[in-house]
């Protein structure tokens, strides 16, 4: 049973020109999404499901169908603010959908019946992450609630142009995730990595601290947990214009309730992305280096 790649791309804007997730960073105009799909295909994924928004649906499909036809099965699902159980009144100021866990839940419409990976559209994770996850999927019962998360060393996930938010992981002695705690304003100052808390105090973080970059491996049983959890979430937050239903929140609850396990797959790859506009040139240069090293072809889809 080959896995599916679920790409969370609903946050992409209505036009591609200047939208960071679709910026041309490869030597032949490839975006970060292109490299993610290419790596997934090489690792053994057979289907990609894009979670997108209505504004970009037509253009998005036109762009990716031309590239991916004959290479991998593609499906598309819309994440909309109205995707909630009936009988709940939504706050009139609510503009955004309901977060990353909600984005995964709406993909249930596509009847994912196999293990699947979840990634962000604007993150470059490295080929090794996809290979590790496929190996993990091959080692488990696809009907179990044995999940996985690819974790990265903190110093390999920073931007040189400003602070970042990262989910700091607590991992037990057997290699299982215990919790993910989100910290904002993480940056490197005078060769020390850390963040300031709400009181302005500096908190040091070891550079090899493992952090979550929202690269998850799930089995289809997750959808039942998400459906039940979102029903409770929306009952409490339907009239909150900013509340969001996040993957780490759901996963932590499942771990605490002993309803699922999450194996941490430790990556040594360099993560990169375009958190700031200044990151684009750095990302272009890093991709060029990988191409020069022969890790990717000069033209990704016409090699």
Residue numbers of the domain that contains 8: 4-292
**Does the residue 301 lie in any domain?**
no
Q: Rg for the chain (alpha carbons), in Å?
A: 19
pLDDT of residue 43 exceeding 90 = yes
Residue 253 lies in a domain: yes
Number of structural domains found in the chain: 1
More confident residue, 274 or 43: 43
pLDDT the model gives residue 72: 96
Instruction: Write the pLDDT tens digit of every residue in 133-189.
Output: 999 999 999 999 999 999 999 999 998 888 899 999 999 999 999 999 988 889 998
Residue 198 lies in a domain: yes
**302 in any annotated domain:** no
pLDDT > 60? residue 18: no
Confidence at residue 15, expressed as pLDDT on a 0 to 100 scale: 34
182 against 40, higher pLDDT? 40
Supply the mean pLDDT for the chain: 90
Percentage of the residues of the chain whose pLDDT score is greater than 70: 96
pLDDT at 60 over 90: no
Write out the DSSP string of the chain.
---EEEEE-TTS-S--TT-GGG---STTS--HHHHHHHHHHHHT--EEEEEE-GGGHHHHHHHHHHHHTTTSEEEEEE--TT-S-TT-PPPTT--S---HHHHHHHGGGG---S-EEEEETTEE--HHHHHHHHHHHTTS-TTS-EEEEEEEEGGGS-BTTB-EEEEEEEE-TTSBEEEEEEEEEEEEETTEEEEE-TTS-EEE--TT-EEEEEEEEE-TTHHHHHHHHHHHHHHHHTT-SS----HHHHHHHHHHTTS-EEEEEEE-SPPEE-SSTTHHHHHHHHHHHHHHTTSS-SSTT--
The pLDDT-based confidence of 253 (bands split at 50, 70, 90) is very high
Position 118 scores a pLDDT of 98
CATH number of the domain bearing residue 261: 3.90.550.10
**Residue 279 falls inside a structural domain:** yes
Examine residue 299 and state whether it is found in any structural domain, yes or no.
no
More confident residue, 280 or 178: 178
pLDDT band at 242 (very low <50, low <70, confident <90, very high): confident
Tokens of 87: 């009988």
Q: Domain for residue 83, yes or no?
A: yes
Q: Tell me the per-residue pLDDT of 91-116, one tens digit each, with 9 for 90 and over.
A: 888 888 889 999 999 998 777 999 99
Q: Is the predicted pLDDT of residue 27 greater than 90, yes or no?
A: yes
Question: Which pLDDT score, from 0 to 100, does residue 20 have?
Answer: 57
**Least trusted range by pLDDT, from 57-61, 138-142, 176-180, 246-250:** 57-61
> Residue 147 falls within a domain, yes or no?
yes
């Amino acid at each position: 049973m080959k896995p599916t790649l679920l790409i969370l791309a609903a946050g992409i804007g209505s036009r591609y020109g200047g939208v960071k997730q679709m910026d041309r960073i490869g030597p032949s105009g490839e975006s970060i999404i292109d490299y993610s799909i290419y790596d997934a295909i090489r690792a053994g994924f057979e289907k990609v499901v894009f979670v997108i928004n209505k504004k970009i649906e037509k253009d998005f499909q036109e762009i990716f169908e031309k590239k991916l036809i004959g290479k991998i099965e593609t499906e598309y699902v819309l994440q909309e603010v109205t995707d909630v159980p009936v009988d709940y009144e939504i706050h009139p100021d609510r503009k955004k959908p309901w977060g990353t866990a909600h984005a995964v839940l709406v993909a249930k419409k596509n009847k994912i019946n196999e293990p699947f990976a979840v990634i962000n559209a604007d993150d470059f994770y490295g080929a090794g992450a996809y290979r590790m996850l496929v190996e993990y999927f091959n080692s488990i019962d696809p009907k179990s609630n044995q999940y996985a998360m690819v974790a990265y060393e903190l110093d390999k996930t920073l931007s040189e142009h400003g602070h970042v938010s990262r989910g700091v992981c607590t991992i037990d002695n057997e290699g299982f995730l215990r919790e993910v705690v989100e910290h904002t304003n993480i940056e490197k100052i005078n060769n020390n990595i850390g963040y300031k808390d709400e009181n302005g105090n500096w908190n040091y973080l070891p550079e090899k601290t493992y952090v979550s970059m929202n690269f998850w491996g799930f089995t289809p049983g997750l959808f039942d947990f998400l459906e039940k959890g979102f029903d409770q979430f929306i009952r409490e937050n339907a009239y909150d214009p900013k509340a969001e239903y996040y993957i780490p929140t759901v996963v932590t609850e499942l771990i605490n309730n002993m309803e699922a396990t999450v194996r941490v797959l430790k990556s040594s790859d360099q993560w990169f992305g375009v958190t700031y506009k200044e990151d684009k040139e750095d990302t272009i240069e890093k991709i060029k280096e990988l191409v020069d090293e022969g890790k990717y072809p000069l033209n990704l889809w016409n090699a």
